[in-house]
Amino acid sequence: MGGTYRAHGDELLTPAEDAQTALLLEAGTGKPGNVGPERDFDDTTFHEFLVGAVGARRGFDAAAEGASVGEVFLESVRGASAHDGGNTQFGALLLLAPLVVAAGRGSVEDAPAVAEGTTPEDAGRFYEAFDHVDVHVGDTGYEYDVRDPEAREKVVEDGVTLYEVMEESASRDGIADEWTDGFARTFHAGSRLVGRPGGTREAVRATYVDLLGEEPDSLVAERCGSEKAREVTRLARELPPDELDERLGDEGINPGTTADIVAGAVFVALRRGWRI
């Protein structure tokens, strides 16, 4: 099997294995406002997140065979959407794709360069991924609107790279911002995980709450408005996690972008030798 192996005791783990583990750990850790072992949403259940993590593996495996970021993302989305529920891991997969490709080529630390090196063909595959999952997208006024069925061909014809698409979205989307900011929050959160005392679930949950208390969640801002997103950030700093979870659950607020960054952070931590 291709890719760069990571030693874990006597075992050698691939980037694909670590990426799947990251999705499972993120989904399996109860976090304020998110779907988890003790909370389903009307359109998405915890078990669908588990099915998504299993299905996404085929995209991660493709990275070991030299697939591009766009190919890895598209195949992961195809696999992860093999259930009847709503969108589960679209954002997490968009974040993980360049991280997994970089790890397979040598080091996860090279993900910023991998993202910057994406092609128009990668952008086309990003647009194609929207055919496989229902992702809410508002009216952005962008020339290459993902809701436009011709946008896939346009980005390729016009030579627009996936990185450039992310640049256009970075001011309003937390995952796109990670792409264009060198995955700064993802890498920093990964370092926190490696150094946290206590068990795995406690470390993942605490890292999520820390991230939520630092910056407003872009999914909350999109669905509930920027004022509510800022309020959630304040509450994450002020309330105990269980009380925050109850508050967000009662209001139906899901900081999904923060959860996606946690998945990326878990992957980074695993590649850096985090033991779980």
CATH number of the structural domain spanning residue 85: 1.10.4200
Residue 176 lies in a domain: yes
Residue 2 lies in a domain: no
Residue 216 lies in a domain: no
Q: What is the pLDDT of residues 86-140, one digit of tens each?
A: 688 999 999 999 999 999 999 999 999 999 999 999 999 999 999 998 887 766 7
DSSP for 156-186, written as a single string: HHTT--HHHHHHHHTTT-HHHHHHHTTTHHH
Question: What gap in Å lies between CA 182 and CA 109, rounded to an integer?
Answer: 9
- CB-based contacts of 187, cutoff 8 Å, min separation 6: 109, 265, 268
Question: What gap in Å lies between CA 176 and CA 91, rounded to an integer?
Answer: 9
For 139, 169, 172, 173, 178, the CA distances from 220, given in Å and listed in that order, are 16, 16, 11, 10, 17
For the segment 21-50, the average pLDDT, to the nearest whole number, is 96
pTM of the model: 0.94
At residue 2, the pLDDT reads 41
Residue 169 lies in a domain: yes
For the segment 35-58, the average pLDDT, to the nearest whole number, is 95
At residue 7, the pLDDT reads 59
At residue 198, the pLDDT reads 83
The whole domain housing 55 covers 10-197+263-271
- What SS3 state is found at 217? coil
Check pLDDT > 50 for residue 252.
yes
Structure tokens at 49: 């997140």
At residue 4, the pLDDT reads 64
For the segment 67-74, the average pLDDT, to the nearest whole number, is 99
Our count of domains for the chain comes to 1
Residue among 96, 218, 116 nearest 164 (CA):
116
Question: What gap in Å lies between CA 120 and CA 165, rounded to an integer?
Answer: 9
At residue 173, the pLDDT reads 96
Q: State the chain's mean pLDDT as an integer.
A: 93
Burial class (CB in 10 A: 0-12, 13-18, 19+), 13: middle
Question: What gap in Å lies between CA 21 and CA 36, rounded to an integer?
Answer: 15
Residue 61 lies in a domain: yes
Write phi, then psi, for 191 (nearest 5 degrees). -65, -40
At residue 58, the pLDDT reads 97
Would you state the torsion angle of the CA atoms of residues 122, 97, 102, 206, taken in this order, to the nearest 10 degrees? 150
Residue 220: how many CA atoms within 13 Å on its side-chain side? 27
Structure tokens at 225: 């408005």
At residue 136, the pLDDT reads 73
Structure tokens at 54: 């299993």
Q: What is the pLDDT of residues 130-179, one digit of tens each?
A: 999 888 776 677 889 888 889 999 999 999 999 999 999 999 999 999 99
Q: What is the pLDDT of residues 189-248, one digit of tens each?
A: 999 999 888 899 999 999 999 999 999 999 999 999 999 999 999 999 999 999 999 999
Residue 177 lies in a domain: yes
For the segment 247-263, the average pLDDT, to the nearest whole number, is 98
Residue 234 lies in a domain: no
Check pLDDT > 90 for residue 43.
no
At residue 5, the pLDDT reads 61
**What is the share, in percent, of the chain residues with pLDDT greater than 70?**
94
Q: Using 50, 70 and 90 to split pLDDT, how confident is the model at 1?
A: very low
At residue 87, the pLDDT reads 80
Residue 245 lies in a domain: no
Check pLDDT > 70 for residue 39.
yes
